[in-house]
Amino acid sequence: MKSNIIGVCRTFRYLSFLFLFLGAGFNMHAQVIANYGIEGWAAYTPGGKGGKIIRVTNLNASGSGSFAAAVKASGARIVVFDVGGVVDLEGSSISIKNPFVTVAGQTAPGKGITLVNGGVYIHANDVILQHIRIRSGSEGHESGSWEPDALSTVGAYNVVIDHCSFSWAVDENCSVSGSRFNGTTPDDWRMNTSHDVTISNCIIAEALSESTHSKGEHSKGTLIHDNATNIAVLNNLYSCNKDRNPLFKGGARGAVVNNYIYNPGSAAIGFVLNESEWLGHEHQVGYLSLVGNYFRHGPNTNSSVTLLNVGRGPCFVYMEDNITEKQRELLFNEHKGKGYLLTPVKSAWNENISVRSATDVQQYVVENAGVQPWSRDEIDTRIVNEMLAGEGKIIDSEAEVGGFPTHEEVYCAFNENEWNLDYMLKYLPGIDISEPDAWPLLTKDSTYIFEALVDPSADTFNYLELLLDGITVSKVMKPPYKWEIFISEAGNHELLLVADIDSSMKRASLTYHFSVEDPLSSGKQTNKARDFRFSVYPNPFSKQAFVSFVLSQASLVSVDIYTENGMLIDTLINEYRESGEHNVIWNPVTLNTGVYYVKIKIGNDMFFDKIIYR
């Protein structure tokens, strides 16, 4: 049985097959998740996948090489960091207006990237923002003239905000916003404001209370504005925000799952339709699904605060396994208010949302919430430790807790060969995969065995997690790391193997891209990636064939020929090639007529095509 390192292939698949592991069945969904670990309605966004890489090379507020310039660029793009430290936005805000971008703060060296003295506003669709800290603050600003959100979407959709840290905002720490009534029908209103947004695994804390906001007191966690729909608020730590932890407004719809809410002053989770804002418009029903949340009173929490407070409906609410800890008393599914109806079924839900028990939420957010939880900065560390100790407070100024951070400026060039660019996970060397005997031709309605092979020199890990087309299939804790696959559908598929280094750090071991053919069908079966094309011609051929491909950058390239049964019979090249167009000749001396496969490997990427010799 052969063994090869299988690389990254950037292809979406919408095909289903049954996956069996130790007798347990797995059925694919019709729509596949495009990002590792992301849940909710926005989990299917590609972000900047397959786009150009833009490097942040300095900590300037604007200009060439800055964070602002990178996110404002156009076209599909992945923003990576050659520098770590603090970016002073100098009292300005950054607006992301061009779609299809992934901001990968996890690539920043040192303690990562922190933005201070400003905020970020997302106006575009298909945006992924990960591992970015935004600490707005009020230092140097006059009352009534400075009201930034740390982060807000504005009429945006397909947006993922994941593993970020937001604090010291003067308006909201993290909001989902847009126009209330843009259009003529309620469906128009929902489509033209923010929708399909995930806020997950974040620390949302210490929004400023009596600061520079024109309304005076304004310590707010998260506001989900009117008619925003398909909003997932998952696995976050809310700490020391006076209210809106989060607050949904009229007609808004979403799921609030497995959040830990500590020390709000006057409100935890809320819903309200303000009639004065809806004059002349028919009231729309809001939908809330509250599952597995843990609310803990703190030093500033009013004793009358309940987990859910509905100021005014209409609203349908589903509640399950929500706990309130109040002076060592545990209360379950607390709620109060008017104009709402508790329902026996989830009123707003996406089936890809995973749920843990409310009693496990504190440990989860301690281990996983915020930027680079395996190496938190001193501010996130303090916020988490104060939550655990029952300390901390609602603050009026960042100066009360030490002021803006001064992280060391650190430089380390991003090396794209060390990263799985589809999932923005760093590779873990030393893990290989043993291919099925029938490789590279797999046929439907057959069973194959895949086995991960771990080099003794590889970094230690807790388990290997296998994902099929972006959906977690199983986690294997100890060797043998073996999976039995029954394939029921033809087409292109992807297996992603992820190593759990600790509870918060994951590493991509490899991505395995393979084709499955229906032996009863005819025609070409290919598994080319979206961003790479190669051709084999003439096809069929009788004397010689040409393999033509284009390299976007200099790379190590190999071109191999396999029989229909998966036997390697020829290697045409295995060498370093410069960028540009290349042609390789296959001139076989003795060859039986039949079907053969051409495999091109470029770095860690592998591509296949079928060719017929006659």
CA-to-CA separations, 243 to 110, 209, 246, in angstroms, rounded: 33, 10, 8
The predicted pLDDT at position 411 comes to 97
Residue 353 lies inside a defined structural domain of this protein: yes
My answer on whether 444 and 581 are in the same domain is: no
Give the end of a domain, one of 353, 377, 401. Answer: 401
My answer on whether 272 and 383 are in the same domain is: yes
My answer on whether 448 and 350 are in the same domain is: no
* Total domains, the chain: 3
My answer on whether 512 and 536 are in the same domain is: no
The predicted pLDDT at position 9 comes to 25
Average pLDDT on 396-402 reads 96
Residue 562 banded pLDDT, cuts 50, 70, 90: confident
CA-to-CA separations, 441 to 214, 421, 519, 553, 604, in angstroms, rounded: 67, 26, 10, 29, 20
Residue 32 banded pLDDT, cuts 50, 70, 90: low
Of the listed ranges 17-31, 247-261, 343-357, 589-603, the one predicted with least confidence: 17-31
CA-to-CA separations, 258 to 293, 355, 362, in angstroms, rounded: 4, 7, 9
My answer on whether 170 and 302 are in the same domain is: yes
Residue 170 banded pLDDT, cuts 50, 70, 90: very high
Question: Which tens digit of pLDDT belongs to each residue from 122-160?
Answer: 999 999 999 999 999 999 899 888 999 999 999 999 999
Give the end of a domain, one of 401, 418, 452. Answer: 401
Judged on CB neighbours under 10 Å (0-12, 13-18, 19+), 289 is: buried
My answer on whether 386 and 504 are in the same domain is: no
Q: Find, among 148, 144, 154, 198, the residue nearest to 168 by Cα.
A: 148
CATH number at residue 587: 2.60.40.1930
My answer on whether 376 and 510 are in the same domain is: no
My answer on whether 537 and 520 are in the same domain is: no
The predicted pLDDT at position 17 comes to 25
The predicted pLDDT at position 575 comes to 87
Average pLDDT on 418-447 reads 80
The predicted pLDDT at position 541 comes to 85
Q: Which domain holds residue 132?
A: 95-401
CATH number at residue 5: 2.60.40.10
Residue 165 lies inside a defined structural domain of this protein: yes
Chain mean pLDDT for the chain: 87
Residue 524 has pLDDT above 60, yes or no: no
My answer on whether 501 and 565 are in the same domain is: no
CATH number at residue 100: 2.160.20
DSSP state of 436: P
Residue 56 lies inside a defined structural domain of this protein: no
Of the listed ranges 12-26, 246-260, 391-405, the one predicted with least confidence: 12-26
My answer on whether 469 and 602 are in the same domain is: no
The predicted pLDDT at position 614 comes to 80
Q: Give the active site residues.
A: 244
Of the listed ranges 233-247, 254-268, 432-446, the one predicted with least confidence: 432-446
Kind of pairing between the strands at 534-537 and 545-551 = antiparallel
My answer on whether 475 and 395 are in the same domain is: no
The predicted pLDDT at position 68 comes to 98
Of the listed ranges 205-219, 224-238, 240-254, 442-456, the one predicted with least confidence: 442-456
**Residue that wins the pLDDT comparison between 83 and 459:** 83
Residue 427 lies inside a defined structural domain of this protein: no
Return d(Cα 216, Cα 130) in angstroms, integer: 31
Question: Which tens digit of pLDDT belongs to each residue from 300-333?
Answer: 999 999 999 999 999 999 999 999 999 889 999 9
Question: Which tens digit of pLDDT belongs to each residue from 44-69?
Answer: 999 999 899 999 999 999 999 999 99
Residue 27 banded pLDDT, cuts 50, 70, 90: very low
Residue 504 has pLDDT above 90, yes or no: no
Residue 10 has pLDDT above 60, yes or no: no
Residue 90 lies inside a defined structural domain of this protein: no
CA-to-CA separations, 220 to 207, 268, 269, 291, 465, in angstroms, rounded: 6, 10, 11, 22, 37
Residue 344 lies inside a defined structural domain of this protein: yes
- Is residue 507 a contact partner of residue 501, using CB atoms and an 8 Å limit? yes
Residue 82 lies inside a defined structural domain of this protein: no
Residue 159 lies inside a defined structural domain of this protein: yes
Residue 530 has pLDDT above 70, yes or no: no
DSSP state of 210: B
Distance of CA 179 to the CA centre of its chain: 26
Residue 407 has pLDDT above 60, yes or no: yes
* Confidence (pTM): 0.81
Of the listed ranges 224-228, 344-348, 534-538, the one predicted with least confidence: 534-538
Give the end of a domain, one of 377, 401, 425. Answer: 401
Residue 272 has pLDDT above 80, yes or no: yes
Return d(Cα 368, Cα 371) in angstroms, integer: 9
My answer on whether 129 and 18 are in the same domain is: no
